[in-house]
Amino acid sequence: MKNFEDIQVSIKDYIAQVTINRPPNNFFDFSLIGQIAEAFSELDGMDSCRVIILCSNGKHFCAGANFAGDRELVDGIDPIDKLYKEAVKLFRNKKPVIAAIQGGAIGGGLGVSLVADFRIATPESRFSSNFAQLGFHQGFGTTITLPRVVGNQNAAMMLLTGKRLKGDEAFKIGLVDFLVPQDQLLHKTMELASEIASSGPLAVEAIRNTIREGLADAIEDIISWELSEQKRLQATSDFKEGIVASSERRKPNFTRS
């Protein structure tokens, strides 16, 4: 397994642990998502891996995307376009993924957590699709993945209000599969991973492929739409106000312009 700049990968007893290492907030960009996608692809080809744990070092699992970075073209491609191209690859992996979520999974960070088949969190965990509060449009395929997990009504509530859910609230609507004390988070995640790893690996991959049939293609299509809406809204005064209001920790004054 190759060494990566911003993630750590280890394998033991058929369980691979992919750890995001950009503490404390673990903001992502196309580079980080690309590294995770490459690691997932490598692990897909390894018989020593039957299930993947996605976790992170730091205060938060992932507090969102880093849109404040350099926007110069990368290989002739806008880095935001490149980010979403890499994101689609995450949904094409063959091995089951379990996300261990401490702290926040916010905005795009929620989208990252929804790549996983299962999410395990703590009472201190926080989940939010806060795009509308920023005058923005959700991305990372959340348009599809969130309703798929919590149902259309719960997804609409999260997306249209940007409400931040506590761990117990996320567990109640099915966004989280297990809720455990902070000091038991990794233990419970390993426990579930071990259960999956003890099943027939060919059967697990076949069953998962059937359950997720067409998901990656649907994600690729919707991400293209999400990105076009994000770019449209980025040019509005409401988006600028949303970003400023967020940084100033005040209620935004949107004017529909």
Walk across the sheet containing 164-166 and list its strands.
Answer: 104-106, 126-128, 164-166
- Inform me whether the pLDDT recorded for 71 exceeds 60: no
Phi, psi at residue 77, to the nearest 5°? -120, 140
pLDDT, tens only, 192-242: 999 999 999 999 999 999 999 999 999 999 999 999 999 999 999 999 999
Residues 6+ apart with CB under 8 A from 15: 49, 50, 51, 52, 53, 190, 193, 194, 197
- Inform me whether the pLDDT recorded for 77 exceeds 80: no
Q: Which CATH class is domain 1-183+200-257?
A: alpha beta
Least confident of 57-61, 66-70, 81-85, 153-157: 66-70
Helix (H) or strand (E) segment spanning residue 198: none
Distance, C-alpha 123 to centroid of its chain = 19
Mean pLDDT of 114-125: 98
pLDDT, tens only, 146-158: 999 999 999 999 9
pLDDT of res. 173: 98
Residues 6+ apart with CB under 8 A from 94: 44, 205, 208, 209
Torsion of CA 238, 243, 245, 246, to 10 degrees: 140
Mean pLDDT of 251-256: 96
- Inform me whether the pLDDT recorded for 187 exceeds 80: yes
- Inform me whether the pLDDT recorded for 23 exceeds 80: yes
Phi, psi at residue 135, to the nearest 5°? 70, 35
Instruction: Tell me the pLDDT band of 69, cut-offs 50, 70 and 90.
Output: low
- Inform me whether the pLDDT recorded for 33 exceeds 60: yes
pTM of the complete model beyond 0.85: yes
> How do the domains of the chain map onto residue ranges?
1-183+200-257
CA-to-CA distance for 160 and 155, rounded, in angstroms? 8
Give yes or no for a contact between 170 and 114, defined as CB atoms under 8 angstroms apart.
no
Helix (H) or strand (E) segment spanning residue 219: helix 215-234
Mean pLDDT of 30-34: 94
pLDDT, tens only, 135-185: 999 999 999 999 999 999 999 999 999 999 999 999 999 999 999 999 999
Nearest Cα to Cα of residue 62 among 145, 10, 121, 137: 121
pLDDT of res. 80: 82
pLDDT of res. 68: 57
Instruction: Tell me the pLDDT band of 6, cut-offs 50, 70 and 90.
Output: very high
Phi, psi at residue 238, to the nearest 5°? -60, -40
Name the amino acid, one letter, at 14.
Answer: Y
pLDDT of res. 207: 98
- Inform me whether the pLDDT recorded for 75 exceeds 90: no
- The whole-chain average pLDDT of the chain stands at 94
